[in-house]
Structure 1
């Protein structure tokens, strides 16, 4: 398997990121183009892209907080984000549907965790659907609780890991 190249996002990635987010997530679960643009502009260093043969195939993006409230919808627009805060909150882990099932999400997650360690972050938090709990547990995430979030009208679970 060819390994992707990992890099920080650029504003020129906006359309590609939005296309992948829209295709990979169900219904209202996907971030809007505007939210993705805000995340790219406000915290590009928390936005890891994966490329394969020069084509964007996936990304992980996050914000940082002093206090993590996973059900805070405003945080998805980086309201309350502080790049110096020690706690990372992942908003998207997404791979282009045509590239799924090949281990790229796992490679991205390992790269992202290492990147956050290099940035001296202390914890990483995320919300996921039931069928992804086992995937994140493989990387050292602990199950916290069912989330209060009703984002996209779906059931979510909160997980976190200490770096």
Structure 2
């Protein structure tokens, strides 16, 4: 497995993986992906296996500890310093699931965020995924204010650098 930054040519595979992993209400649109690819390519990572996109993780560096719904439709450029590394999307192609791809992507993004002196990695997940994220070093911070896709989400936070 090779982890790299996103390229414009990844878009068709990204859309297919996203649509396989999320409901239509939850899935990012093509416009949202295009915005993320051009706005935050440095925090949009791809897992590649045998020259195919096996999975991806993406999200901007934000000023707040938790995600808000507006982040899912319009991504702003990453903060130059500090902040919280968010995860708007983490998805793995069905034929590559349960092979460590998601964990490798989380670890790669966390390492990059740690190096950039981000305070935490922050994301939301459905209740069924809480054990996965806890095993990856995240703490459940309770139900999120987000109702993106008409779903109950939980705030999950991984501490990287002490919050001053």
Pair 1:31 & 2:56 matched: no
Counting matched residue pairs gives 159
CA–CA distance in structure 2, aligned partners of residues 65 and 23 of structure 1: 27
Deviations 1:83-125 (A, max 9, x none): 4342111001100112112221112212221121122211111
Q: Which residue of 2 aligns with 1:153?
A: 150
Change (3 A) 1:83 1:25: farther
1:75 paired residue among 71, 86, 89: 71
Q: Which residue of 2 aligns with 1:49?
A: 46
Per the TM alignment, residue 82 of structure 1 is displaced from its structure 2 partner at its CA by 2.8
TM-score scaled by length of structure 1:
0.90
Change (3 A) 1:97 1:128: same
Per the TM alignment, residue 68 of structure 1 is displaced from its structure 2 partner at its CA by 3.5
Change (3 A) 1:53 1:127: same
TM-score scaled by length of structure 2:
0.90
1:1-163 alignment to 2 at 5 Å?
4-70=1-67, 72-76=68-72, 77-79=74-76, 82-163=79-160
Secondary structure (helix, strand or coil) at the match of 2:28 reads: coil
In structure 1, stretches of 5+ residues that fail to align are none
CA–CA distance in structure 2, aligned partners of residues 149 and 38 of structure 1: 20
Taking only aligned residues, the RMSD between alpha carbons, in angstroms, comes to 1.5
Runs of 4+ aligned residues of structure 1 deviating over 6 Å after TM superposition are none
